[in-house]
Amino acid sequence: MDGTVGLFIMTISFGIPFKTDGDGGPLYFSVPFSVPRKGIIQHFLWQITLFTWNVRDCIDKFKKMICITGRGGAMKLMLDPGHGGHDPGAVAHGLREKDLTLDIAQRIRHMLEAEYEGVEVRLTRESDTDVSLSQRARMANQWGADFFLSIHVNAGGGTGWESYRFPSVPARTVTYQDIIHAEVIREVQVTDRGKKTANFVVLRETAMPALLTENLFIDNAQDAARLKDAAFREKLARGHVAGLAKAFGLKRKEAPVVPGPFPDVPSSHWAAEAIQVVKDAGLMTGREDGSFGPNEPVTRAQMAVILAALLKKIYG
């Protein structure tokens, strides 16, 4: 913990009122207090010199250091499709970065909402619109997001996939990067360019753990061919989702129970489809209690009835 945040915490602890001097110079204030010891009141005077700081920036920094996430309900994820509007991002091979990032982000949201419980997803932009970098961070901060994930596509003649976090972050953010990075690489099987750090605005100004991913190189012919393939973009989204689910312990939604042809023949039974076919064709029926008895042996008389029904179906 650095000195600025330490003083901020101490100020809250002692309830010391303070204000700036208005011209950007140093601020001085005193904190008198007394401590009884062996019947003698000993007075101490602390002279503390502070320099003017931006209180909101200090609070944001404090929150980021202790990882206040606002959890208490659904995990809140802010997805940030890079660029947009008048800013196309990198352009090459008939592709625009802003289109790819929005497509991947929307796929990530759809998968999370369709397959997992307890997750709420928002996007910094829903269409081809202009949103400044600071505004993107502000949207996440004001919403109280638990995690910020910015999606980008690289350029510069390289190849492969990489991820970025802010240089000075809690261990928890590093863990999130490790998990998500590994899951994406496992899913897409491309060159791993490594886990990196950078002083990007959206990583610096967000008050929650944040990650930025660079999804291949738009100006590399082989990478661009992959990015043009919707199935590959689906795999990119799937890798991000797998990482998020693992990092935040998201619970998969239970698959709806599909009824089988009979109460004692669930849809998961190895012969359910065949039993459904012969039932629909009128070749076999259930017992008086409505069950089928899939594991019971068939008598010769029962087989004769089944074959007779089949012959009638064929010859009328």
The secondary structure element, H or E, covering residue 307 is helix 300-315
Give CA–CA dist 235/208, Å, rounded: 26
137 contacts 192 by C-beta, under 8 angstroms = no
CA distance 125 to 139: 10
Q: At what angle do helices 221-228 and 230-248 cross, to 10 degrees?
A: 80
Instruction: For residues 138 and 263, give the distance between their C-alpha atoms in angstroms, rounded to a whole number.
Output: 54
Task: Please say whether the beta carbons of 184 and 195 come within 8 A.
Answer: no
Is-catalytic flag, 187?
Answer: no
Phi, psi torsion values for 297, nearest 5 degrees: -70, 155
Q: Catalytic one among 214, 254, 288, 296?
A: 214
As annotated, the active-site residues are 214
